[in-house]
Structure 1
């Protein structure tokens, strides 16, 4: 593990998690992106389509494809936003709510299994390290001229 870079470990782990979720989702004719979208849409009030991309960290093109697929499968419906006629709210259908529960249970099972094998202290450290990495990236403290000058 010492010879592996931090980004390699993050990438390899995320790819394994994504593959696992996609394998599980495929049993229900879905994908990890579909499951994540289902979990990101408010069950009762719906969610503005413009809020989903940032919430999910997904590019608009990928999100559009995912939402189109979900609409075709009858998991969501688009409705005009009553508060803003220019906007669209994404609502879950009855089938979407059912699939959302499957997604929720899958995520909870993953978390439960990890917690059974990793101590609370180690998980806390993992979360702290992830937060530092995210903060460094969002504050542009890794690849900018000032960061390089301060070394």
Structure 2
């Protein structure tokens, strides 16, 4: 199959370009795209239980632990005991983390606004429908089950 017509190739190549763009911007602030994603995922007022962050972000615990450690070292987050469950920890944004969150959010808005200048609402609706369908097919395990049922 021609890579230009391969859905997975287009998704991967586009995501890699987006990730590179965000990482270049984040580097200007001594951060990474993954750290920015964490900043945007943490509830800015109440914090977020550490056990909830991984599933919210679709990230493995080991990778998330490494990112959280780095963010704590940079002073962007703090860890507090969860008052409702002493076994878990609430991740909270520090004043510096809140400031960095604003930068992250502004870059996400800028990306979305510029893309919306070049892509119509109808095209975006189609894009979201396609990505939603792909995610559902994967979640429902329809991709390879459908192939193995045909054999």
Which TM-score bucket, shorter chain as reference?
over 0.9
The alpha-carbon deviation at position 114 of structure 1 amounts to 0.5
CA distance in 2, matches of 1:60, 1:9: 28
Q: From the two aligned structures, give the one with the greater helix fraction.
A: 2
1:101-140 matches, cutoff 5 A: 101-140=102-141
- Alignment: residue pair count: 150
CA distance in 2, matches of 1:62, 1:143: 27
Report the TM-score when normalising by structure 2. 0.95
1:27 has 2:22 as partner:
no
The alpha-carbon deviation at position 149 of structure 1 amounts to 1.6
Q: Which sections of structure 2, spanning at least 5 residues, go unmatched?
A: none
CA RMSD, Structure 1 to Structure 2 (Å): 1.4
The alpha-carbon deviation at position 143 of structure 1 amounts to 1.4
Q: 1:23 to 1:3 in 2, by over 3 A?
A: closer
Q: Secondary structure at the match of 1:85?
A: strand
Q: Which residue of structure 1 lines up, in the alignment, with residue 10 of structure 2?
A: 9
- 1:2-40 deviation line (CA, Å, top 9, x unaligned): 843000000000000000000000000000000000000
Structure 1 runs of 4+ with >6 Å offset = none
Report the TM-score when normalising by structure 1. 0.95
1:35-114 matches, cutoff 5 A: 35-114=36-115
